[in-house]
Amino acid sequence: MATTTLEEDAVIPAAPCYWLAELKHFDETKAGVKGLADAGITELPRIFHTPPHLLDYRQSTTSSADDPNFILPIIDLTGANDDPERRKKIIEQVRDACGKWGFFQLVNHGIPEESVLEEMKAGVGRFYEQDVELKKPFYHRDLSSKIVYNSNFDLYTAPAANWRDNIMYQMSPDPPLPEELPSSCRNHLKELDCAAGLHVVCHYYPACPQPELTLGATKHQDDSFITVLLQDHVGGLQVLHQNQWVDVPPLPGALLISNDKFVSVEHRVISKSIRPRVSVASFFTTGFSSNP
């Protein structure tokens, strides 16, 4: 799972006296950020105001249109199992991408787009968009549980809350029983029980009324051995490369891969005002921990 990192020389001021009370009030609604969006708020609550030393980095961004050297590698697996030379070339591409970027997009990987990937994202959306009373039984902060739904795992320790909700499934060593999974995404999640050392985190980023004041995910690194990320078409993911934030444009059917073998790259998610964003992250670890 992700670990948040702050600037080395940043000084985090002590939380004001109202801070804990507002965190608890928000948390005890069990409605999450989605509940705030559904309520039609037009001003962001103070607990979501990201500190300026983290928001400053929003401006240091680039894209492939600005500089072709800042294009996240895209690796095509076509022919990997049929042609030894092609396979060797792909391995070199993966090694190069891991060493220079620590992040790359994978296409033609063999996982059906419509029947699997799109349905996975749709299932996540169905869970978050259902009535809040149906979601409340899953809302808690016991990370030893196989299923944890809440808003911000680090709500009470982070310098500010991120504009997102999340639900985590621990799929190993003993996956949840089918009847324990939310019915909205049960059919797709229960098929993941064969993957040792795997947990899945499904993020939901509602449209934000003041995206310039907050982040969907603060700058962080993943501490998993390999992370496989499925994102929808909304965008917002950025990768830090050569001290520049690089946009990762959504690519239909692609999977985003990051690793800690060569480079544990920092990345973040900026908030959007246009529409909700959904992502599904699968974290593979060499030794599973019940407290990610």
Which of residues 73 and 68 earns the better pLDDT score? 73
- Check residue 267 and give its pLDDT: 84
C-alpha–C-alpha distance, residues 106 and 111, integer Å = 11
Cα distance from N-terminal residue to C-terminal residue, the chain: 6
If 0-12 CB within 10 Å is exposed, 13-18 middle and 19+ buried, where does residue 117 land? Answer: buried
DSSP label of 110 = S
Q: Strand 237-241's sheet: what is its strand order? A: 2-4, 215-222, 267-270, 237-241, 244-247, 61-62
C-alpha–C-alpha distance, residues 34 and 26, integer Å = 11
Domain of 34: which CATH number? 2.60.120.330
- Residue 8: pLDDT band with limits 50, 70, 90: very low
Residue 3 inside a domain? The answer is: no
Please state, in angstroms and as integers, the Cα–Cα distance from residue 35 to each residue in 116, 128, 162, 261, following that order. 28, 10, 14, 39
DSSP label of 54 = H
Which of residues 3 and 57 earns the better pLDDT score? 57
Residue 241's domain comprises 10-284
Residue 176 inside a domain? The answer is: yes
Residue 78 inside a domain? The answer is: yes
- Check residue 238 and give its pLDDT: 92
DSSP string across 163-215: S-EEEEEE-SSSPPPGGGS-GGGHHHHGGGTT-TTEEEEEEEE---S-GGG-E
Look up tokens 């999640």; give the residue.
Answer: 189
List, in order, residues 6 or more apart from 174 with CB less than 8 Å away.
146
Q: Are 146 and 192 in contact (CB under 8 A)?
A: no
Which of residues 222 and 250 earns the better pLDDT score? 250
| Tens digit of each residue's pLDDT (9 = 90 or more) over 166-197 | 999 887 666 666 666 666 555 554 444 434 45
Q: Which of 186, 197, 150, 192 is nearest to 35 (CA)?
A: 150
- Residue 1: pLDDT band with limits 50, 70, 90: very low
Residue 2 inside a domain? The answer is: no
Total tally of structural domains belonging to the chain: 1
CA atoms within 13 A on the CB side of 9: 0
Q: Which of 204, 218, 90 is nearest to 151 (CA)?
A: 204
List, in order, residues 6 or more apart from 66 with CB less than 8 Å away.
none
Residue 105 inside a domain? The answer is: yes
| Tens digit of each residue's pLDDT (9 = 90 or more) over 199-222 | 889 999 999 999 999 999 999 887
Residue 289 inside a domain? The answer is: no
Alpha helices for the chain (secondary structure H): 18-28, 32-38, 52-55, 84-100, 119-129, 132-135, 186-189
Tokens coding 180? 């324990």
Question: pTM value?
Answer: 0.83
Answer whether residue 139 shows pLDDT above 70: yes
Tokens coding 182? 């939310």
Residue 268 inside a domain? The answer is: yes
| Tens digit of each residue's pLDDT (9 = 90 or more) over 87-119 | 999 999 999 998 889 899 999 999 999 989 999
C-alpha–C-alpha distance, residues 287 and 198, integer Å = 9
3-class DSSP state for residue 143?
Answer: coil
Residue 292 inside a domain? The answer is: no
Share of the chain above pLDDT 70, in %: 77
